[in-house]
Chain A
Amino acid sequence: MKITIYPEKCCGSGQCVMNAPAVFDQRDEDGIVVLLDANPPAEQHANVRRSAQICPALAIRIDEDRQ
């Protein structure tokens, strides 16, 4: 799995951090998404998918087949 984030779209909702804290964080100053792990291990995949599905700003893209 390969994750791409789009900080310019991010609205700082923090949904990704709540669903996958090992993979996403927020910047302290404005809450914009920070990607901690662009190629997370398999046990994180379900959390990451949920983060991307829920993100209200469509700021997370997942490529399941890429590394």
Chain B
Amino acid sequence: MNEPERVVVVGASAAGAGAAHALRSAGYGSALVLVGEESDLPYDRPPLSKQALLGQWEPESLQLFDPAGYDRMGIELMLGRRAVQLDVAMRALHLSDGERLTFDRLIIATGSSARSLPWLSSSPNVHSVRTIQDAMKLRKVFESKNTRLAIIGAGFVGTELAATARTSGLTVSLIDAAPNPLETRLGPAVGRLLTKLHRAHGVDLRMGVSVEAPVRSEPGERVSALRLSDGSTVECDAVVVAIGAIPNVDWLKSSGLQLGNGVQCDECCRAVDGIYAAGDVAEWFHPGYGRRMRIEHRTNAAEQALAVATNMLGGSVPYAPMPFFWSDQYETKLQMFGMVSRTDQVRMLYGTLDDPCFVLGFYEDDSLSGVLSWGAPKQARQLIPVLRSHWKNF
């Protein structure tokens, strides 16, 4: 394969900006353009539900890379412009300002967007947390200790927000249709631990219910309460919708690329010849698990960016990461290695439930599928070789 002469990376976040830097580190010396919808320099998202809301970190400390580095490394930034269409045959990208960018290699890293509730989201006191702008708006809400915050969705973002809001002294209601927080992802055993944790910190948990309707004077006005499916109401001054994310693939619908739950790629993260995907938007074939998957966690964005850069420059290295996430909940850090399902059996591998730190093992048919560290990451990490030994196809 010839060395490319013009690489375009679309999406300027952890995966996209990481891939651009990785291409330069790997010695790629020709034209390199990084396109991003947001006008801010590439920044890091995990702190948006934590330090950025507490006012501990200002926007400057969220930057992913040295601002002076883009110029120095010859990475041309085209920010504040969204990709609207891809022409694979012509090797051209159309942008929202009418510009047409040609390339000979492309990295798609357009990430994902917060899922919204259209019947709710038009009100001025309804928030989501995906961008730095979202976080700065919500930070103002967090500054008033009298705020009653209703959070819809008890997944990763919802539970972290609840913890951050309680740490800030807000009154918090956390609403989800599942019986416990994060149960849909991590099963009932971990879900019950999270119920206990959040309850101990004073969160008003409304589990096993859905939101029926907002209470407001008219559509588009402020929401003063949420009516729930069990007939109760939650009075609130602000609402956050945290019900997951959807991959940003709408702009690719006319491209002819295979779109499933993201941009479908082979095991080298290649969609078609010369076009690759990385991060939240990529649904690639994981050779260890023998199936396609899409991972919305921060570590994968960085790691997949490196893999794509290597493969784009002539490598053909299958991308087979050990899935990992972490989540900060009050003083506790949760970390998970592996891929688990809510029906896996859970056993204690280190410590006890009465200890401040322990490690839980997840088992599918007696085979270890994942380990969850509750404040004991080193002990959990040491089980990675066992997890990897169960990969059947690799």
Contact = CB atoms under 8 A, between A and B. Distances in A.
B335 A13 contact: yes
Interface in A1-47: 11-15, 17-18, 26-31
Contact of B333 (A12, A56, A58): A12
A53 B326 contact: no
B335 A54 contact: no
Nearest to A27: B378
Nearest to A30: B375
Identify which of A11, A28, A50 gathers the most chain B CB atoms within 10 Å of its CB: A11
Top 7 nearest A-B pairs (CB, nearest first) are A31-B377, A12-B377, A14-B381, A56-B299, A56-B298, A26-B378, A11-B326
Interface in A42-67: 49-50, 53-58
Given A11-B333, A30-B333, 14 more contacts: A13-B326, A14-B378, A18-B384, A26-B378, A27-B378, A30-B357, A30-B375, A31-B378, A50-B306, A53-B25, A53-B302, A55-B302, A56-B299, A58-B64
A15 B25 CA distance: 19
B46 A56 contact: yes
A49 B25 contact: yes
A53 B381 contact: no
Contacts of B44: 58
B38 to A, nearest CB: 18
A56 B377 contact: no
A12 B25 CA distance: 25
A58 B24 CA distance: 19
A26 B377 contact: yes
B377 A13 contact: yes
Contacts of A28: 378
Interface of A: 11-15, 17-18, 26-31, 49-50, 53-58
Identify which of A15, A31, A54, A55 gathers the most chain B CB atoms within 10 Å of its CB: A31
A56 B302 contact: yes
A25 to B, nearest CB: 9
A47 B373 CA distance: 25
Interface of B: 18, 21-22, 25, 44, 46, 64, 297-299, 302-303, 305-306, 324, 326, 328, 333, 335, 357, 373, 375-378, 381, 384
Contacts of B22: 53
A30 B46 CA distance: 19
Contacts of B25: 49, 53
Contacts of A26: 377-378, 381
B302 to A, nearest CB: 5
Nearest to A15: B299
B90 to A, nearest CB: 33
Given A50-B306, A53-B25, A54-B306, A13 B299 contact: yes
A14 B381 CA distance: 7
Contacts of A12: 326, 333, 335, 373, 377-378
B285 to A, nearest CB: 21
A18 B373 CA distance: 17
Nearest to B306: A53
B60 to A, nearest CB: 13
A60 B46 CA distance: 16
A15 B333 CA distance: 16
Contacts of B303: 15, 54
A12 B377 CA distance: 6
B373 A31 contact: yes
Given A12-B333, A56-B326, A17 B381 contact: yes
Contacts of A56: 46, 297-299, 302, 324, 326
Given A14-B377, A26-B378, A58-B44, A31 B299 contact: no
Nearest to B333: A12
A26 B335 CA distance: 14
